[in-house]
């Protein structure tokens, strides 16, 4: 019965490694914050805003995403946004969240870096206390800006380095290759932090190669277009480069026509270290659990696949070795939990 496979997938302890906190801003919260901050929000209602979530590509989404982020003004706003996400993530079995944020989206509007960090850190502390969820911040640079602007942002963020888990690169991929940010990434790595980058979402497989060779990334965000070049796919699998795949995002942004066309099964068949993530859950049809449900509806994976996906997410996280061992032990125990062996849909039952 694939229902129990789905239950297992939803309940299994797992890490979410690719989620933009600004992309978890639900329309209801956006309206509440606009009202709280006295902002004249350019949408008539929550329904009117939701109706605008009809994207043809990445840029059509980003335009709305940056416009909505304007309601985030105070430390309390950033706190509320973070805590709302962590509540949802916890409900989907997330024990570790590595959360992306775009400081330039806020500092460009005159919001001090300190306000952004203080708000997010307060939300993370509350999430840890209420849900026991372990959270780290991935500071992302906007790749449509110049490398010098990104280097200036890195300088501005230096006083907060103890609160930064890793660095990332997001926004418009086409026209902004990884090769544009070689100096920036060298400076980030010199700080002793891991680095990730979006590559191979809308951009070609060559951008994945650039991110690996020039930016020396530890993970690739998306990477779903690696299947377009067998040599890139083979390399990603051989080197066990984690790919933070976001299925609902890829369908909503028309990277694939529908879920059944998604490259996920090909990535798994090639032996790639795939993880499942929600990207911008408020805009793309849901949180991690919704992504899992949509993938299962399309591909009906067995429990070994879901076990491997959860295991990959923990292995690929930047958490401590001790934390990873603890979560992996819980994951292994969940395989043997009552009910877990009651379906005949996976080799683990044999
Ligand atoms: N791709 C690139 N940049 C982003 C995304 C995405 O899916 N979401 C937020 N910033
Ligand atoms: Zn993303």
Q: 9 C-alpha vs ligand 1 centroid, how far in Å?
A: 25
> Given the DSSP bridges, would you call strands 273-276 and 166-170 parallel, antiparallel or unpaired?
unpaired
Residue at 133 is within a domain: yes
CA-to-CA separations, 341 to 296, 310, 326, 336, in angstroms, rounded: 18, 17, 22, 7
Does residue 279 line the site of ligand 1, with CB under 6 A? yes
**Any idea what DSSP says for residue 182?**
H
Q: Which atom of ligand 1 is nearest to the CA of 102?
A: 10
Residue at 347 is within a domain: no
Range of the domain at 192: 3-335
- Of the spans 44-53, 105-114, 333-342, which averages the highest pLDDT? 105-114
3-state secondary structure of 125: helix
Domain containing 329 — which CATH number?
Answer: 3.20.20.140
**Any idea what DSSP says for residue 228?**
G
Residue at 225 is within a domain: yes
Residue at 340 is within a domain: no
Residue at 349 is within a domain: no
Q: Which atom of ligand 1 is nearest to the CA of 22?
A: 9
3-state secondary structure of 234: helix
Per the structure, the count of domains in the chain is 1
Residue at 342 is within a domain: no
pTM for the full predicted model: 0.96
Q: Which ligand is nearest to the CA of 172?
A: 1
3-state secondary structure of 211: helix
Ligand 1 pocket: which of 198, 254, 285 to mutate (most atoms within 8 A of CB) = 198
**Gap between the Cα atoms of 262 and 255, Å rounded:** 8
Does residue 106 line the site of ligand 1, with CB under 6 A? no
Residue 339 is predicted with a pLDDT of: 56
pLDDT digits (tens, 9 = 90+) for 233-284: 999 999 999 999 999 999 999 999 999 999 999 999 999 999 999 999 999 9
Does residue 202 line the site of ligand 1, with CB under 6 A? no
Q: Write the residue with the smallest CA distance to atom 10 of ligand 1.
A: 171
Residue at 88 is within a domain: yes
């Amino acid at each position: 019965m694939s229902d129990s496979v789905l239950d297992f997938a939803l309940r299994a302890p797992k890490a979410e490694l690719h989620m933009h906190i600004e992309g978890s801003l639900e329309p209801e919260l956006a309206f509440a914050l606009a009202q709280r901050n006295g902002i004249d929000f350019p949408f008539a209602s929550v329904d009117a805003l939701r109706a605008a979530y009809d994207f043809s590509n990445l840029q059509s989404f980003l335009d709305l995403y940056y416009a909505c982020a304007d309601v985030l003004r105070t430390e309390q706003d950033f706190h509320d946004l973070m805590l709302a996400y962590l509540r949802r993530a916890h409900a989907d079995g997330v024990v570790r969240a590595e959360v992306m944020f775009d400081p330039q989206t806020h500092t460009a509007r005159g919001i001090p870096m300190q306000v952004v960090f203080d708000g997010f850190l307060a939300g993370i502390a509350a999430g840890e206390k209420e849900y026991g969820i372990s959270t780290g911040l991935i500071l992302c640079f906007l790749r449509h800006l110049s490398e010098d602007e990104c280097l200036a942002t890195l300088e501005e963020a230096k006083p907060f380095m103890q609160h930064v888990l890793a660095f990332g690169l997001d926004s418009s991929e086409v026209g902004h290759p990884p090769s544009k940010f070689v100096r920036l990434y060298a400076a980030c790595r010199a700080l002793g932090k891991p680095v990730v980058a979006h590559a191979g979402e809308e951009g070609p497989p060559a951008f994945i190669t650039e991110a690996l060779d020039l930016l020396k990334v530890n993970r690739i965000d998306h990477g779903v277009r690696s299947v377009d070049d067998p040599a890139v796919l083979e390399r990603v699998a051989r080197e066990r480069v984690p790919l933070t795949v976001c299925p609902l995002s890829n369908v909503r942004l028309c990277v694939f026509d529908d879920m059944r066309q998604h490259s996920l099964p090909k990535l798994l068949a090639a032996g790639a270290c795939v993880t499942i993530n929600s990207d911008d859950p408020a805009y793309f049809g849901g949180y991690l659990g919704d992504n899992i449900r949509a993938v299962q509806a399309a591909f009906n994976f067995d429990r070994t696949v879901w076990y491997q996906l959860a295991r990959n997410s923990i292995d690929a996280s930047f958490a401590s070795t001790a934390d990873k061992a603890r979560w992996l032990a819980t994951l292994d125990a969940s395989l043997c939990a009552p009910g877990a062996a009651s379906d005949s849909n996976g080799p683990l039952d044999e």
